[in-house]
Structure 1
């Protein structure tokens, strides 16, 4: 595990039996849901934890009706543990010794803390509507004695402050390439994947700390490797990203003429590459280009951010790419004349 601070804190919470409401946030594929489920498995034995844990994906069930019905009903259920010893028999005499207890708790149960509360895991909580989050806040207050909540999200800023303030926050960092490569190598050896080290390194570069994306790309590459060797462009397309040659072609067209730049953008849109992914790749080019001055980099970065926001709002991909590339063309022309 790379999230050492998070794991150490949660292990201490399991040992002491003091578990607060939790809020896990960070980039996708960094182990937030896996840590939440592993925490539940540490608290109860396998036959108990499924009855004590309710896992919901808020992207599917994010309305206020789900909060008021399903979540509120589960949170209000009382939790009870069966007595460890049999009660004294009604027919037993007072001076008669109690019978030997034969229904003691199994050894497997004794190894678990078995705390007297339930856990509700709400995955992708940042997609829950603000009204539903406000209703959830009241449920957390009312049933905190018998229910703990684990909220999982990518963007903590989309959680309303009254709800976030009731949780202990844990930030999950993108995984480093070293630990990811160790796991990918183990998977590739177990599945007998015929991939070279440089191909694994390229998969890790494309994943950018997202272990889920790395494993998915490895699976697709393994299925496609039977048809022949894979290059970097093919791996990029398997990961759903524009190949480096496509990004380089657009970048080079910005330093030529408007007609060549427009034809390059039209070709990229016709090929079906994601405009958002292209904007992310172009932003890296802007930052790393030594020929652009700081003012040009600032203007282009702002324009890329505005174009990405417009794409989220449903704007046309071709027009947004053209606005960014046109500004870049202007900046490169100004650099030549200065």
Structure 2
């Protein structure tokens, strides 16, 4: 009796990304060819080693977990599935110890694990507990429970090359009792001998309509409030910021809902951009006017006081600045090209860990010179 309230509390505290993660392959949207291929592999009991790659938030981990739920009875998943995040555990010692140890364990026969455990349905038919689960239609679901385990290695492109080389031998040696699912964003960072041992599946960015339908469903389930007649505007703003990343879109919606959790408060479009750290359009317009003054000190003071000290992301500022400059008619095509090349180089430097202030000043200095020469 005392267990019910804590369960409700745990459910409300669960991140929406996990709460609305697809529970089975049929719940996965858009990745139709991949789902159909995996379903066929499950039905024919011919599941190979898998390599999922594609942009973040496109369903790679969700498909892997849904596949495991479809293969194994819920009571078997903890013993049959090992999930590792390679960004935390990516050394060769993990491959030699943790992964190899789990991969080498043999699977007991189904007969011995189910001996003496019989349940009876209303019709009097005996059912094994490992094969019993009731779906939404009230029918008993049966699980293949194949005689192998599954190791899910998430963010496999973060694994060192030496560890990948050691992993390919583990995959070969224990392929009879273990299947591997490698998940990565960049397939080029997986060594070819390892990639050639897996069936590769590319996950495409989710289309806007598919994401919009799912976001609207989650908003309805969580009773999110929007300004009257502006629900589509807010959802479109969330989708434009997420750039095809469903995980980011759901997280943004949850954050916006948390900030507007008052009785009469609603989710506003401007709050989405502010929460994401995007610079307001007025700020970028003022920056361009400052660049057109041809005064380096004014430009530097504006960047330091209104961008850096306000905490805006240099990546977002550069992106918004380029979007404005590209459509300016009083700037030559050559000047636009020079600024775009420098912005691309600075964006790459930011990814590599360069100082944001220096990269902002570098691009703005070049833009200052290009706009000055146009006066």
Q: What range describes the TM-score normalised by the shorter chain of this pair?
A: 0.7 to 0.9
Per the TM alignment, residue 103 of structure 1 is displaced from its structure 2 partner at its CA by: 8.1
CA 1:118–1:290: 2 relative to 1, 3 Å? farther
Contact 2:73–2:131 (8 Å) recurs in 1 = no
Contact 2:208–2:239 (8 Å) recurs in 1 = yes
CA 1:58–1:265: 2 relative to 1, 3 Å? same
Residue of structure 2 aligned with 1:239, choices 265, 272, 276: 276
What CA distance in whole angstroms lies between the structure 2 residues aligned with 1:174 and 1:158? 20
CA 1:331–1:122: 2 relative to 1, 3 Å? same
Q: Does 1:149 align with 2:147?
A: no
Comparing 222-231 with 68-77, greater Cα deviation is found at 222-231
Q: Tell me the equivalent position of 2:38.
A: 10
- TM-score, structure 2 as length reference: 0.77
CA 1:85–1:57: 2 relative to 1, 3 Å? closer
What CA distance in whole angstroms lies between the structure 2 residues aligned with 1:201 and 1:304? 27
Per the TM alignment, residue 332 of structure 1 is displaced from its structure 2 partner at its CA by: 2.7
Per the TM alignment, residue 25 of structure 1 is displaced from its structure 2 partner at its CA by: 1.4
Q: Tell me the equivalent position of 1:316.
A: 355
Q: Tell me the equivalent position of 2:303.
A: 265
What CA distance in whole angstroms lies between the structure 2 residues aligned with 1:286 and 1:67? 50
Taking only aligned residues, the RMSD between alpha carbons, in angstroms, comes to 2.8
SS at match of 2:201: strand
Residue of structure 2 aligned with 1:74, choices 102, 119, 131: 102
Contact 1:233–1:244 (8 Å) recurs in 2 = no
Deviations 1:140-166 (A, max 9, x none): 122122211111112222222222222
Per the TM alignment, residue 295 of structure 1 is displaced from its structure 2 partner at its CA by: 3.7
SS at match of 1:180: helix
Q: Does 1:203 align with 2:238?
A: yes
Q: How many residues align?
A: 323
Per the TM alignment, residue 292 of structure 1 is displaced from its structure 2 partner at its CA by: 4.8
Contact 1:86–1:103 (8 Å) recurs in 2 = no
5 Å-filtered alignment, 1:1-338, equals 1-83=29-111, 107-108=131-132, 111-195=142-226, 196-197=230-231, 198-225=233-260, 226=262, 228=265, 231-257=268-294, 258-266=296-304, 267-285=306-324, 289=328, 292-334=331-373, 336=374
SS at match of 1:273: coil
Per the TM alignment, residue 203 of structure 1 is displaced from its structure 2 partner at its CA by: 1.2
Deviations 1:197-255 (A, max 9, x none): 11122112111111111111111211222385555442113234444444444344333
Contact 2:81–2:149 (8 Å) recurs in 1 = yes
Mark the runs of 5 or more structure 1 residues left unpaired by the alignment.
Answer: 88-100
What CA distance in whole angstroms lies between the structure 1 residues aligned with 2:47 and 2:114? 30
Mark the runs of 5 or more structure 2 residues left unpaired by the alignment.
Answer: 1-28, 116-124, 134-140
CA 1:188–1:162: 2 relative to 1, 3 Å? same
SS at match of 2:181: strand
